[in-house]
């Protein structure tokens, strides 16, 4: 890393992760320790094994403390990442690797580095979110090395007020520790808008700019910076005017009531959630309801699946939180990057193109699927609000037909048992090119379609979500992606189905007019972006928005799309 130097005001650009800004003082964070070459012939294996055992016990204690603190400060879902770290810490393969390296004459800290090298490389070579497991392994490795060399530990949960964290990268466990009451924001060399660090930042309402590049290393510790998560800018040694402007954006107006465009078209603005702990915070941001309830988080990090009653209570709680709104529950999207220890999940070369979502629900997880539907049907009959169910990773009309047959079977069973139930409106997530081309046939069978732009973009452009080498391709403003979205919306409306969007694209206020112009009826996003999107909706004229969308669809390159969006926004 080059030696950072204090500079006069200058602006670095990256990807804004959260539409918030703040000003603070730089603290550099790195979890990686540099080790000198080991001395030959000085290692006593018994001593090194004991050092490793002691470090592992201390690491386990640290992880348990950090999990508890994160669960209280951020939420149970975010805290679960520490459970995965404990599993890696106790992995027999890792332990055997350390033992072997010590026997070969390496000190414990070097043995740890060698033992983790191959597993990290294996995960780095995978696609999508599985690559994030490499960061989890780095976390555990670096924690052990730090303890073994008595290195300095930067407590991300105990930073002074007004801190801006700069780092090469921040893993989910790093980001989960950040206290929004003290941390003014963060910026990273790597990362994109759909990375977990960026998603965590939005859940914390924390200003963040990711993917700035190597230039970030030139910023000195203790420098004053503005983190502008809306513009995607990091301003070094900003003027007093810029500092005041950044502080002023911290307060946002929350609109609790549904909003309409300037000419009276109502657009539903919902939020994405993964667990009950997020419900109240989502409502506090003014969300009309839930546009994506990721139910797989109910099944993770436990020894057995939640039973029907536990699921029923969870879904009922969501409905009671939004008695006047809609709660869209996605059925199990197990597979891909969501391993579950009590299920026999196959080891697939490319799990994101393998057996996941509805494919498992109609196959090896059929019993779980039926239990989940029973709980949902009971909640639909007894809970407040409007429940909707959507099926993930549907690629063919045949898969949807099979899912609907299961719906009928479950409803008949509840009827015969004399249990109150209701079959709510049903929908399909559109996240594969196959689903886009089959959208007319899919929409004909259901009440709604919901476009998951994170996966749809990576599949349309063949660009994995966490692969920085293809980040430029992974942009929903690509003409091919916009045309896929438009085709889906047209298919839905032609078949009297409403259509929503639940990917990260939906939460970008700069794209709200474009999305309304394309004809979306609902937008669902991270809760922190709800106020800004609602404000954007209220200023839109739908006829003008439709013309804007038409011009964007005519563009032949990403640059042309961006230029037309920027010109349109500048004229508002």
Torsion, CA 163, CA 169, CA 171, CA 173, rounded to 10? -30
Q: Report d(CA 495, CA 517) in Å as an integer.
A: 19
Q: Which of 182, 196, 493, 560 is catalytic?
A: 196
Q: How far apart are CA 89 and CA 81, in angstroms?
A: 13
Taking alpha carbons only, the member of 130, 128, 101, 129 closest to residue 115 is 101
Active site residue 493: no
d(CA 570, CA 572): 6
Per the document, the length of the chain is: 572
Which of 85, 110, 502, 548 does the annotation list as catalytic?
502
Give the three-class secondary structure for 484: helix
Tokens matching residue 382:
């007894």
- Residue by residue, DSSP assigns 330-392 as EPP--BTTB--TTS-----SSGGGSS-THHHHTTTTHHHHHHHHHHHHHHHHHSSSEEEEEES
The closest of 287, 372, 274, 272 to 321, measured between CA atoms, is 287
Helices and strands (DSSP H and E) totals, the chain: 22, 17
What value does the CA radius of gyration of the chain take, rounded to a whole number of Å? 24
Task: Report the relative pairing of strands 10-13 and 233-236 from DSSP bridges.
Answer: antiparallel
- CA distance linking residue 261 with residue 188, whole number of Å: 36
| 502 flagged as catalytic | yes
**Three-class DSSP category at 493:** helix
Active-site residues: which are they? 196, 502
């Amino acid at each position: 890393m080059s030696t950072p130097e204090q500079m006069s005001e200058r602006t670095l650009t990256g990807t804004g992760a959260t539409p918030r800004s703040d000003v603070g003082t730089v603290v550099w964070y790195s979890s990686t320790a540099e080790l000198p070459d080991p001395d030959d012939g000085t290692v006593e294996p018994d001593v090194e094994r004991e050092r490793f055992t002691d470090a592992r016990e201390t690491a386990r204690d640290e992880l348990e403390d950090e999990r508890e603190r994160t669960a209280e400060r951020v939420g149970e879902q975010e805290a679960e990442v520490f459970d995965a770290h404990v599993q890696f810490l106790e992995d027999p393969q890792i332990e055997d690797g350390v033992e072997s390296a010590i026997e070969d004459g390496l000190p414990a800290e070097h043995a740890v580095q060698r033992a983790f090298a191959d597993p990290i490389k294996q995960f780095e070579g995978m696609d999508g979110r599985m690559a994030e497991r490499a960061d989890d392994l780095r976390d555990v490795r670096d924690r052990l090395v730090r303890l073994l060399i008595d290195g300095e530990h930067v407590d991300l949960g105990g930073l002074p007020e007004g801190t801006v964290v700069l780092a090469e990268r921040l893993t989910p466990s790093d980001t989960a520790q950040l206290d929004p009451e003290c941390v003014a924001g963060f910026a990273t060399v790597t990362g994109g808008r759909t990375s977990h660090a960026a998603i965590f930042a939005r859940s914390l309402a924390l200003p963040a700019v990711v993917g700035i590049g190597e230039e970030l290393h030139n910023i000195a510790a203790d420098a004053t910076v503005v983190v502008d998560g809306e513009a995607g800018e990091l301003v070094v040694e900003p003027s007093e005017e810029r500092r005041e402007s950044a502080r002023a954006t911290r307060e946002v107006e929350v609109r609790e009531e549904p909003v309409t465009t300037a000419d009276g078209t109502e657009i539903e603005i919902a939020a994405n959630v993964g667990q009950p702990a997020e419900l109240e915070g989502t409502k506090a941001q003014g969300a009309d309801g839930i546009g994506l309830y990721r139910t797989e988080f109910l099944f993770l990090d436990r020894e057995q699946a939640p039973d029907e009653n536990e699921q029923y209570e969870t879904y009922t709680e969501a409905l009671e939180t939004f008695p006047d709104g809609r709660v869209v529950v996605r059925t199990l999207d197990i597979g891909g990057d969501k391993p579950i220890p009590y299920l026999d999940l196959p080891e697939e070369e490319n799990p994101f193109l393998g057996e996941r979502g509805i494919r498992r629900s109609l196959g090896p997880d059929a019993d779980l699927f039926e239990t989940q539907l029973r709980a949902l049907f009971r909640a639909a009959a007894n809970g407040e609000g409007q429940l909707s169910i959507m099926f993930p990773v549907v690629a063919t009309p045949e898969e949807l037909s099979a899912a609907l047959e299961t719906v009928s079977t479950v409803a008949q069973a509840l009827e015969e048992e004399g249990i109150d139930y209701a079959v709510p409106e049903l929908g399909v997530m559109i996240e594969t090119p196959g689903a886009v081309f089959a959208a007319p046939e899919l929409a004909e069978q259901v009440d709604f379609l919901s476009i998951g732009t994170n996966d749809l973009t990576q599949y349309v452009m063949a660009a994995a979500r966490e692969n920085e080498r293809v980040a430029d391709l992974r942009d929903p403003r690509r003409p091919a992606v916009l045309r896929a979205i438009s085709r889906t919306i047209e298919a839905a409306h032609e078949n009297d189905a409403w259509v929503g969007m639940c990917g990260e694209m939906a939460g970008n206020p700069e794209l709200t007019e474009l999305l309304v112009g394309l004809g979306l009826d609902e937008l669902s996003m991270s809760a922190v972006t709800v106020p800004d999107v609602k404000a954007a909706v209220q200023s839109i004229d739908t006829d003008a928005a439709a013309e804007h969308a038409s011009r964007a669809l005519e563009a032949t390159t990403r640059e042309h799309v961006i230029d037309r969006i920027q010109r349109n926004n500048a004229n508002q």
